[in-house]
């Protein structure tokens, strides 16, 4: 199942921009309707970026169905495909689409592809310390800061804050780099989009989780790092970004993410093993419907991300063979 880009799907949606501005869910999203007889145990293995969201959805779901147990493990998106293949997890949260080789490995075992559904929109943020006054960066500058090869086209490497035009005490200060490790979908997405498929510098301090990237930047005045908008704290700032040098910079607001103006906005996904010739089992099916319902998407906002639309929900539930009206 291949999705169009977020910008293609959501650009120009005036109604969505209004609801996003107020950080409200799409009014067309239905309220979740509990059913009887739901019990059992499931496990989620995958994205660290979705750890908090999975916890919120699990708690809300278990409040409705106390006989359900949900175990959550979030060490990175790359841990989701093998867990789904081996059957050690029933849900595989990912902050990037599966790679072709991951899909092929799954299909080799089951004879059909894994199925994703979209659960949130993220403005993947480039964070600096809260006292850092930088107003804007282009993706070419971000690339020159983080990558070895500068595939984005920057003329020279950027190593100090002065290289980004900052003056005074900042001018001579080296930029301290924080990022995720290679198990992370965020690592892969940032590499693909912000680094133009280039390689990270060896000086990037790789962190095991999204929150530790933010903590690192918060404790280091001259640092820069990247992490999901859901992990933003009062101790860091998200730098407005432009798609290319000289273009308008856009912040990480919902409007900028939904319109596609913010250049590294993305969908967040949950992958499942769904045999296209068999109905979805009730426990997993109800969790899918809950997490994408009005209540579930309110939890998405609580977790710091931006909600999906009812149209996206309907599209994904149809693929999963679920009744979107229930």
- Please report whether residue 324 resides in a domain: no
Same domain, 179 and 280: no
Same domain, 116 and 138: no
- Please report whether residue 325 resides in a domain: no
Domain final residue pick, 263, 281, 299: 263
- Please report whether residue 192 resides in a domain: yes
Domain final residue pick, 215, 234, 263: 263
Same domain, 95 and 150: no
User: The domain that contains 284 carries what CATH number?
Assistant: 3.40.190.10
Residue 60: give the domain boundaries. Answer: 6-122+266-319
- The pLDDT of residue 18 is 44
- The pLDDT of residue 325 is 77
Domain final residue pick, 244, 263, 282: 263
Section 67-84 average pLDDT: 96
Same domain, 159 and 246: yes
Same domain, 162 and 231: yes
Same domain, 228 and 295: no
- Please report whether residue 183 resides in a domain: yes
Q: What is the pLDDT of residues 57-67, one digit of tens each?
A: 999 999 999 99
Per-position b or e across 244-260, b if 16+ CB within 10 A of its CB: eeeeebbbbbbbbbbbb
- Please report whether residue 196 resides in a domain: yes
- The pLDDT of residue 110 is 98
Same domain, 35 and 145: no
Section 246-265 average pLDDT: 95
Q: What is the pLDDT of residues 146-194, one digit of tens each?
A: 999 999 999 999 999 999 999 999 999 999 999 999 989 999 999 999 9
Same domain, 256 and 131: yes
- Please report whether residue 96 resides in a domain: yes
Same domain, 118 and 233: no
- Please report whether residue 55 resides in a domain: yes
Residue of 282, 281, 268, 273 lying closest to 86 (CA atoms): 273
- Please report whether residue 31 resides in a domain: yes
Domain count within the chain: 2
291-294 CB contacts, 8 Å cutoff, 24+ apart: 291/57, 291/61, 291/119, 292/29, 292/117, 292/119, 292/316, 292/317, 293/29, 293/30, 293/31, 293/32, 294/25, 294/29, 294/30, 294/31, 294/32
Same domain, 81 and 17: yes
Same domain, 23 and 153: no
For the entire predicted model, the pTM comes to 0.90
Are the C-beta atoms of residues 124 and 268 closer than 8 Å to each other?
A: no
The residues near 133 (Cβ < 8 Å, ≥ 6 apart) are 166, 170
Section 259-283 average pLDDT: 96
Please report, rounded to a whole number, the percentage of residues in the chain having pLDDT higher than 90.
91
- The pLDDT of residue 17 is 46
Please report, rounded to a whole number, the percentage of residues in the chain having pLDDT higher than 70.
93
The residues near 68 (Cβ < 8 Å, ≥ 6 apart) are 38, 39, 40, 41, 42, 61, 62, 283
Same domain, 98 and 180: no
Helix H, strand E, coil C: the string for the chain is CCCCCHHHHHCCCHHHHHHHHCCCCCCCCCCCCCCCCCCEEEEEEECCCCHHHHHHHHHHHHHHCCCEEEEEEECCHHHHHHHHHHCCCCEEEECCCCCHHHHHHHHHHHCCCCEEEEEEEEECEEEEECCCCCCCEEHHHHHHHHECCCCCCCCCCCCEHHHHCCCHHHCCCECEEEEECCCCHHHHHHHHHCCCCCCECCCCEEECCHHHHHHHHHCCCCEEEEECHHHCCCCEEECCEECCCCCCCECCCHHHHHHCCCCCEEEEEEEECCCCCCCCCHHHHHHHHHHCCHHHHHHHHHCCCECCCHHHHHHHHHHCCCCCCC
- The pLDDT of residue 114 is 98
């Amino acid at each position: 199942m291949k999705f169009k880009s977020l910008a293609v799907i959501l650009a120009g949606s005036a109604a969505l921009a209004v609801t996003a501005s107020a950080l409200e869910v799409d009014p067309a999203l239905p309220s979740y309707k509990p059913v009887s007889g739901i019990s059992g145990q499931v496990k989620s293995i995958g994205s660290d970026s979705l750890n908090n969201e999975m916890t919120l959805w699990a708690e809300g779901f278990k409040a409705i169905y106390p006989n359900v147990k949900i175990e959550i493990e979030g060490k990175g998106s790359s841990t989701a495909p093998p867990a789904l293949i081996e059957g050690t997890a029933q849900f595989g949260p990912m902050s990037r689409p599966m790679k072709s080789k991951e899909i092929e490995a799954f299909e080799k075992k089951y004879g059909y592809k894994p199925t994703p559904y979209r659960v949130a929109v993220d403005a993947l943020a480039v964070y600096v310390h809260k006292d850092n006054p930088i107003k804007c960066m282009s993706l070419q500058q971000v690339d020159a800061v983080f990558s070895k090869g500068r595939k984005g086209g920057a003329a020279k490497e950027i190593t100090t804050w002065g290289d980004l035009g900052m003056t005074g005490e900042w001018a001579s200060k080296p930029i301290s780099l924080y990022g995720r490790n290679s198990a992370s979908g965020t690592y892969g997405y940032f590499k693909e989009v912000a680094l133009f498929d280039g390689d990270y510098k060896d000086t990037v301090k790789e962190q095991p989780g999204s929150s530790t990237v933010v903590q690192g930047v918060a404790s280091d005045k001259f640092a820069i790092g990247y992490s999901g908008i859901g992990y933003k704290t009062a101790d860091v700032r998200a730098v407005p970004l432009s798609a290319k040098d000289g273009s308008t910079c856009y912040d990480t607001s919902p409007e900028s993410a939904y319109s596609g103006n913010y250049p590294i906005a993305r969908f967040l996904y949950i992958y499942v093993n769904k045999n296209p010739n068999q109905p979805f089992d009730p426990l997993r099916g109800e969790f899918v419907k809950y997490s994408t319902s009005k209540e579930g998407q309110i939890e998405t906002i609580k977790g710091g991300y931006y909600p999906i639309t009812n149209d996206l929900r309907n599209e994904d539930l149809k693929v999963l063979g679920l009744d979107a009206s229930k």
